[in-house]
Structure 1
Amino acid sequence: MGFKSVLCVTGADHSDRDVRIAAGLCAEVGAHLSVLIMSPPPLVMSPPPLADGILEWPVQRAQAIARLDKRFRQTERFSQDMARLEKRYSEIQKLLRAMSLCHDVDTDYCDPASVGDVVRQRALYADLTIVGPALLNDDGLGPPVVNGSLFDTGKPVLVVPKGAEATLSPRRVLVGWDSRAEASRAVREALDVLSGAEEVCVALVDPKANYNGNSAEPGADIAAYLTRHGARVSVDRLLSAGKPVATVLAQHAIDTSADMIVMGAYGSRRLRERLFGGVTRWIVGKLPLPLFLAR
């Protein structure tokens, strides 16, 4: 099963970079691109009451003026946000039409707390969501988009950090394997990518043979599975020597000249606020390599 429908979420104030990355990937595999432009309104706190008890007329008047002023500023901000969304919509439509790409573009202006749910509804009907460098570095929009598209749908996400060359046809792929369900799902979702690669390196850090995950030869089972799907697989069992798993995987990706890393996404609700927990976040921050994740 290939990627036939790809979702790209971008902010109204972002550049074209994320959309261009997603468009290039769709052109590469002949997929439909859905672009969602979002502009969450800022959270506005209500001013505290000016006094307790029965208010004197001057105080009541001051509060009424403050409420009217607040309403005016909200209306003015809403109009500006709508104009910016409309402008970005037209720009992206023009960009994608020039690329002769099958696409659709939509906008959404929702409460910040609802961003994740809005994205989740869109990601449910996509094979893959692209998280580009602009979205990745947007502390306000990035985390809820990742939560909605990755953690709440079971669908994969391709993270493209700044400086990474994005492709869905990588020559060399590093698979971070630990026999967990998340890693298995990532491999399953990336099968087309893995079977088309020239070389797939399955990397295990400090593996141990056990009845519950690895066979007597750690990595042999997943290698056999991938080989049946046409992948050309090698298995590397790595020793951490006290180093963090993320450090070991990142260095091995460099040593093997990997073009992409495929791995499971982990993280509790608390860690999700930082985009990813542990290994995944570290790799995103340190390596200019596309990271294919599934939860």
Structure 2
Amino acid sequence: MAFKTILNLLGEEPKEEDLQIAMKLGSEVDAHIIALLVALARVPTGRYETLSPSWLEVRERKLNKLDDRVAKVRERFIAAGLSFDVDSLYAEIAGPAYDIGERAIYADLVVAGPGIFADDELKPQVISGGLFHAGRPVLFVPPDVNVTLRPKTVLLAWDSRPSAAHAAREALELMQMAQSVHVTMVDPVAASRVSGDEPGADIATYLARHDIDVSVETLPSSGHFVTDTLLRHAVDINADMIVMGAYGHSKLLELILGGVTKSMLKEANLPILMAH
């Protein structure tokens, strides 16, 4: 999958690191960047509060500030010589998940940089809209990490589920450019209806047919959480990125989002490309 259109999600006050990441990734793969600044209105405390003069005044003030920030981001992208669009989304009564999903449909990749990664309100909206509504791959970038769409070493977290297979297909081009791809499993079950008689062999063969230099690694959890095991191994192999499937359901995101997915999105210390 060639990343020719990247939807880069930003908070209402984009950090410099978020802008640098957007410009870097766009330049790396010669992609069109759609920068979307997302602002959330305060949750109303009363039934008719949204009709009050004070509410409308705050709304108008926030929209004006958002317009100013859109203009500043546009100036930065013009100076960088990128192909881009900049827009804003002001979510009031309903969350922005649906609108994010509608825009993500027309992107090859959604990027949620450090600002979104650290935002406990916006991050679930991105997961719901980008991953589950639009079905697009989302690259989550924690603060203070190096991110690239030309990684040298990729850890593919594998468990033989359809979401993991979808993530692998979405990341094929990334993995083809990489020097090495580590298909990594934690406590896999060797059974024909689970991971096959030889866990990891089928996906390794599939990737090898795409000219990907792949190795299969089986890790014991040894009583540790799967997330901890994967992140430690990513450090050991000096991975630039983890590719993995995301599990859960958008409408009940907080209740049944898969445990490993949830933990990874809290504890990751390197970029995570997720697909559902």
* Contact 1:19–1:35 (8 Å) recurs in 2: no
Match of 1:79 in 2: 60
1:269 shift after superposition:
4.8
Hey, what does 1:42 align to over in structure 2?
42
SS at match of 1:248: helix
Residue 38 (structure 1) shift: 2.0
Distance in 1 separating the partners of 2:244 and 2:172:
12
Secondary structure at the counterpart of residue 128 of structure 2: helix
Give the distance between the partners of 2:77 and 2:124, measured in 1 at CA. 26
Counting only pairs closer than 5 Å after superposition, residues 54-133 of structure 1 correspond to structure 2 as 71-133=52-114
* TM-score, normalization by structure 1: 0.87
Amino acid at match of 2:216: V
Percent identity of the aligned residues?
Answer: 39
Deviation at 1:213, TM superposition (A): 3.3
Q: Unaligned stretches of 5+ in structure 2?
A: none
Instruction: Tell me what 2:20 maps to.
Output: 20
* Pair 1:112–1:275, CA change in 2 (3 A): farther
User: What residue is the counterpart of 2:208 in the other structure?
Assistant: 227
TM superposition shift of 1:275: 11
Report the equivalent of 1:182. 163
Count of aligned residue pairs for this structure pair: 276
Contiguous gaps of at least 5 residues in structure 1: 49-66
Distance in 2, matches of 1:258 and 1:271, equals: 32
Q: Is the 8 A contact 1:22 1:33 kept in 2?
A: yes
Cα distance in 1 for partners of 2:72, 2:257 equals 31
Deviation at 1:119, TM superposition (A): 0.3
The aligned counterpart of 1:64 is: none
8 Å contact kept, 1:250–1:287: yes
Kindly provide the amino acid, as one letter, of the partner of residue 163 in structure 2: E
Larger Rg: 1
- TM-score, normalised with respect to structure 2: 0.93
Counterpart residue number, 1:32: 32
* CA deviations over 1:72-127 (Å, ceiling 9, x no partner): 21221122112111111110000000110000011222325241111010000000
Quick one: structure 1 residues 260 and 208, their matched pair in 2 at CA, closer, same or farther if it must change by over 3 Å?
Answer: same
The one-letter amino acid of 1:84's match is K
Q: Deviations for 1:49-83, whole angstroms, at most 9, x for unmatched residues?
A: xxxxxxxxxxxxxxxxxx89x72212211221121
Write the letter of the residue equivalent to 2:206. Y
